[in-house]
Amino acid sequence: MESSGNKLIIAGYSEYPGPRYCVQGDNSGEDFYHSILNDAFYLAVTKQEKLTVDLDGTAGYASSFLDEAFGNLSYDYSSETVKKYLVIISNQEPDWKDTIMNHIIPDWEQRRTKGNKPKKTHNHAEWYRLENGTLTKKIWS
Amino acid sequence: MVQAGEWNPNKKNMELITVCHGAFVIQDTMKVSDWIAIVNIVVTTLVGLWIGISVRRNFTINRAVKDYFILECLEIKKGYSNFLNCLYQNSKSSKSIIEWLKIMTIKIDIFEEFLKEEFKVNPQVLKTHNKLKQYITETEEFNDNYKSPNFELTPTIKKNIIEIHEGFSKELTKIVIEINKASKSNNWKKKKK
């Protein structure tokens, strides 16, 4: 995974980002979130710096990949924290930036407040979640 | 005595004097109406030349620019029809669909950018394309068939794609009409000097 400072280049994770869930195919949104994004965002938040995620340079995205990756981020860290620390670059497909910031993040915030838990199709290692103002790392049910 | 065939300097001078005298005679006898007629002929000739050269040249250039953009519209329309035909025949994989949609996004984005730059129009083709892109790639069937070489569309997906495609075609037709309507003095941008 290509990362320079607080910048994630998804093309470095995969040139062909895949489907929504791990069980549906390689390089899924679920996998990207749990193997890369959750930790990278944690580091940015603890350093109180912005995390830039660059979407350019891949063969394209399924809407569901982005929904699962950035939706989980909103679910675990809250939309307020995500909007404060996340910067999206998407020059080749500018609509994805709008979709993530104005649709996915608010939608998953609602899901978080309603307690509608995200589906996991793989046994992931511990990951961070903001709970009662504290970032805790564990395998969340 | 000057003989026939020999050069006579005096005769040449006589002819010159006659011509000059003739010119004076014309000037002396011309009336205002004659001058108006001459100016009229000159102006008419110049206007004719201007129409023939400048206006015609501008018309040709403007028509060529319009034709280029209209041709691009038709290319996009044709590309979309081919893509949807393959999609309906279940002969496309999820991966190839994503790739095609991205290429088309970039193509339409550039096309709309130049369209906005050249004509004062507000195209909605990319917006409709993005709607289709998001719809197809978020369906459960698309994700469930991700590993499969063919993405099989359900009747509901087909119906929804047809609806979005209808809107897409309408947007392209609107653009063709707006391009043809555009004129330099009205909504076609003025050339920067």
Instruction: Kindly provide the ipTM of the predicted complex, given to two decimals.
Output: 0.90
- B138 close to A (CB below 8 A): yes
Q: Which domain holds residue B135?
A: 57-187
d(CA A46, CA A128): 12
Q: How many residues belong to chain B?
A: 193
Average predicted confidence (pLDDT) for chain B:
83
Nearest to A59 among B99, B142, B144 (CB): B99
Our CA-based measurement puts residue A88 at a distance from the nearest CA of chain B, in whole angstroms, of 17
Taking contacts as CB-CB distances below 8 angstroms, the residues of chain B near A60 are 98-99, 101-102
The DSSP line for A64-128 is HHHHHHHHHHHHHH-HHHHHHHEEEE-SSSTHHHHHIIIIIHHHHHHHHHHT-PPP--S-PPPEE
Percent of chain A with pLDDT over 70: 96
On the CB side of A117, CA atoms within 13 Å amount to: 6
Segment A37-58 mean pLDDT: 96
| Chain mean pLDDT for chain A | 95
**B102, B104, B113, B134, best to mutate vs chain A, most A CBs in 10 Å:** B134
pTM as predicted: 0.80
Question: Do residues B133 and B105 lie in contact, with contact meaning Cβ atoms separated by under 8 Å?
Answer: yes
- Residue B113 domain-assigned (yes or no): yes
Size of interface A-B (CB pairs under 8 A): 59
Q: How confident is the model at residue A21 (pLDDT cuts 50, 70, 90)?
A: very high
Query: Looking at the complex, does the CB of residue B121 fall below 8 Å from at least one CB of chain A?
Result: no
Q: Is the per-residue pLDDT at A90 higher than 70? A: yes
Residue A3 has pLDDT above 70, yes or no: no
Give the neighbor-by-neighbor strand order of the sheet with A7-9.
Answer: A2-4, A7-9, A51-54, A86-89
Range of the domain at A23: 2-138
Note the pLDDT tens digit of each residue in A100-121.
999 999 999 999 999 899 999 9
Mutate to test the interface with A, among B92, B95, B98 (most CBs of A within 10 A): B98
Give the helix/strand (H/E) hosting B87: helix B56-88
Burial of B155-184, coded b for 16+ CB within 10 Å and e otherwise, reads eebeebbeebbeebeebbebbeebbeebee
Asked whether residue B192 is domain-assigned, the answer is no
In a domain, B155, yes or no: yes
* Position B135 in a domain: yes
- Select from A59, A63, A92 the Cβ nearest to the Cβ of B137: A63
The amino acid occupying position B22 is G
> For residue A103, what pLDDT is reported?
97
Query: A61, A17 in Cβ contact below 8 A?
Result: yes
Bridge partners of A3? A8
Q: Tokens 């499969």 belong to which residue?
A: B148
Q: Is residue B137 part of a domain?
A: yes
pLDDT in tens, B48-98: 888 887 777 777 778 888 999 999 999 999 999 999 999 999 889 999 999
C-alpha separations of B122 from B3, B60, B118, B163 in Å: 89, 25, 11, 22
Res B23: pLDDT: 54
- B44 within a domain of the structure (yes/no): no
With beta carbons less than 8 A apart as the criterion, state whether A50 and A86 touch. Answer: yes
Total domains, chain B: 1
Q: Is residue B31 part of a domain?
A: no
Residue B156 lies in a domain: yes
Q: How confident is the model at residue B24 (pLDDT cuts 50, 70, 90)?
A: low
CB contact under 8 A, B106 and A92: yes
Average pLDDT over residues B34-60: 84
Number of domains in chain A: 1
